[in-house]
């Protein structure tokens, strides 16, 4: 019964961090999706400069880890450019968004390239412009294939949001650390509850991933 | 824009200091990876136990470990594990990181093994049974030699992913390049140069490995492509 009382005591304290975790997740997810489509399409551009430049972005952000990028942005941006980025919230969102945007841009690129070549040819035969071809023929088919990977990477982003506690954001993990530092013997329960909080947030995304897998397979000849 | 804060003197001063941690970072990556490769087999084995309830528990345990932050899992092992009455004991930062990151990634590795085993043709299972192989021989001589090689590129990818997750261990005090950079930053109040060095080290080490693994993948695909094998068989039959 001691445990149940402790849970009732700890859970509401952790819940105070929910808003930060969820808001960072939502904002960085939107930012990452945006970057994914911009970078993914740019890497298929005919312009060599655009292609090389986006390639550089993708390789740099995929080649270094999120925690390094987060700290780099946290310390470097104010120093390098002499500006304050508003708040740590923005630094977290930008770091996670740029990092996973780079990963997701590869998903966008791969899906577009995997649309059968006959589709492009058919669209050309129907005298469509290259924009129409992408918008009406290629893209709608490619988006379906992206679904499972997008929700899968959103789970990764949720895991990544825990890092913002390291730059002083008051997310779930931050409150967990506070409780642990005042009462060390409660550490097992505190961190277990923190994990459960993250898992509950991840559940809809897990469901979405599985759903996305069935949608992306539907009506596609294997 | 002004770059007055960037100093090459600091850069070259911090470089040897940060590089001191490289051995630990690489060592931790390799140890974690070997742990994950071994522990992955445990998950694969547990998932093959033919009991629905048990299977459900194993599947959701894996899902739980996989979809919660490795950072929290590290903290759990480092701070909470010693506090658990009865079973708990204190672990040093390095061992905690090996356990935390190792278990986290073993769930991914376990899934890769599973996909490899499931991709082995049904006829192979039937043949090993028809030839009266023992269970051990069936796995050792028939299934695993066919299941593991096609998964090597995927496993290689996880080596790089793990390398990039290892700086998380700096939060519990493993003195890799990340902690070295932060220490240098705190001592000299210059974070930009050491952190840039860390970024460059990661890029320099992970990008060539990624290119190498992509090459390996192409090679494996041509070697293990079932359709290619069938096609060459048919060609042989015609000729």
Shortest distance, CA B136 to any CA of chain A (angstroms): 34
Tell me the count of A-B CB pairs closer than 8 A: 124
At residue B228 the predicted structure's pLDDT band, cuts being 50, 70 and 90, is: very low
The answer to whether the CB atoms of B207 and A63 lie below 8 A apart is yes
Tokens of A104: 């997701």
Dist. CA A166–CA B184, nearest whole Å: 18
Q: Which uninterrupted H or E stretch holds B53? A: helix B52-66
What domains are there in chain B, each with its CATH number? 9-238 (1.10.3720.10)
For Cα atoms A143, A96, B23, give the angle at the middle one, nearest 5 degrees. 120
Which distant-in-sequence residues (6+ apart) come within 8 Å of A200 by Cβ? none
Residues near B86 by beta carbon (within 8 Å), at least 6 away in sequence = none
Question: Cβ(B191)–Cβ(B94) under 8 Å?
Answer: no
Question: Which residue reads 């001063």 in tokens?
Answer: B13
**pLDDT tens by residue, A84-102:** 656 788 889 999 999 999 9
Helix axes A66-81, B177-188, angle to 10 degrees: 20
Residue stretches of chain A with pLDDT short of 70: 1, 79-86, 219-222
Is A76 close to B196, i.e. CB distance below 8 A? yes
pLDDT tens digit sequence for A123-152: 989 999 888 888 898 888 888 889 889 999
Chain centroid offset of residue B10 CA:
34
Element (DSSP H or E) covering residue A112: helix A88-114
What structural domains and CATH numbers belong to chain A? 2-217 (1.10.3720.10)
CA distance A161 to chain B (A): 8
pLDDT at residue B191, as a whole number: 87
Beta carbons of B182 and A71 less than 8 Å apart:
yes
| Partners of residue B3 in chain A, C-beta under 8 Å | 80
pLDDT digits (tens, 9 = 90+) for B69-104: 999 999 999 999 988 888 878 889 999 999 999 999
Residue B61 pLDDT class (50, 70, 90 cuts): very high
CB contact under 8 A, B178 and A192: no
Q: Which residue is closest to A167 within chain B, CA to CA?
A: B171
Say which DSSP state B208 is in: H
The full length of chain A comes to 222
Predicted pLDDT at B207:
86
The pLDDT, as a whole number, for residue B213 is 86
């Amino acid at each position: 019964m001691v445990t149940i009382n402790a849970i009732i005591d700890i859970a509401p304290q952790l819940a105070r961090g929910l808003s930060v975790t969820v808001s960072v997740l939502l904002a960085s997810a939107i930012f990452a999706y945006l970057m994914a489509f911009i970078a993914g399409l740019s890497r298929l551009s005919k312009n060599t400069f655009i292609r090389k430049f986006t390639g550089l972005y993708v390789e740099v952000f995929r080649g270094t880890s999120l925690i390094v990028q987060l700290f780099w942005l946290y310390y470097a941006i104010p120093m390098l450019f002499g500006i304050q980025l508003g708040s740590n919230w923005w630094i977290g969102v930008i770091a996670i968004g740029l990092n996973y945007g780079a990963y997701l841009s590869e998903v966008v690129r791969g899906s577009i390239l995997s649309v059968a070549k006959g589709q492009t040819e058919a669209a050309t035969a129907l005298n469509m412009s290259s924009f129409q071809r992408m918008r009406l023929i290629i893209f709608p088919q490619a988006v379906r294939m992206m679904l499972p990977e997008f929700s899968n990477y959103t789970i990764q982003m949720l895991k990544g949001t825990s890092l913002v506690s390291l730059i002083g954001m008051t997310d779930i993990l931050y409150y967990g650390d506070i409780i642990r530092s005042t009462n060390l013997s409660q550490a097992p329960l505190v961190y277990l509850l923190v994990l459960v909080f993250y898992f509950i947030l991840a559940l809809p995304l897990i469901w979405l991933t599985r759903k996305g897998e069935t949608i992306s397979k539907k009506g596609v000849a294997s | 824009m002004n770059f007055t804060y960037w100093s090459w003197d600091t850069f070259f001063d911090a470089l040897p200091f940060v590089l001191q941690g490289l051995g630990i970072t690489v060592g931790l990556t390799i140890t974690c990876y070997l742990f994950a490769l071994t522990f992955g087999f445990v998950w694969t084995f547990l998932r093959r136990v033919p009991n629905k309830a048990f299977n459900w528990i194993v599947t959701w345990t894996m899902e739980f470990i996989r979809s919660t932050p490795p950072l929290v899992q590290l903290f759990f092992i480092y701070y909470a594990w010693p506090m658990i009455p009865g079973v708990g004991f204190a672990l040093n930062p390095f061992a905690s990181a090996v356990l935390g990151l190792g278990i986290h990634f073993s769930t991914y590795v376990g899934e890769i093994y599973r996909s490899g085993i499931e991709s082995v043709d049904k006829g192979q299972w039937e043949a090993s049974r028809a030839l009266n192989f023992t269970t051990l021989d069936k796995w050792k001589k028939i299934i695993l030699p066919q299941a593991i090689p096609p998964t090597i590129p995927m496993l290689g990818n996880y080596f790089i992913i793990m390398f990039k997750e290892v700086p998380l261990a700096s939060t519990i005090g493993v003195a890799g390049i990340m902690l070295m950079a932060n220490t240098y930053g705190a001592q000299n109040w210059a974070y930009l140069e050491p952190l840039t060095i860390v970024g460059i080290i990661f890029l320099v080490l992970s990008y060539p490995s990624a290119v190498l693994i992509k090459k390996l993948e192409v090679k494996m695909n041509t070697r293990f492509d079932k359709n290619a094998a069938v096609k060459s068989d048919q060609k042989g039959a015609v000729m």
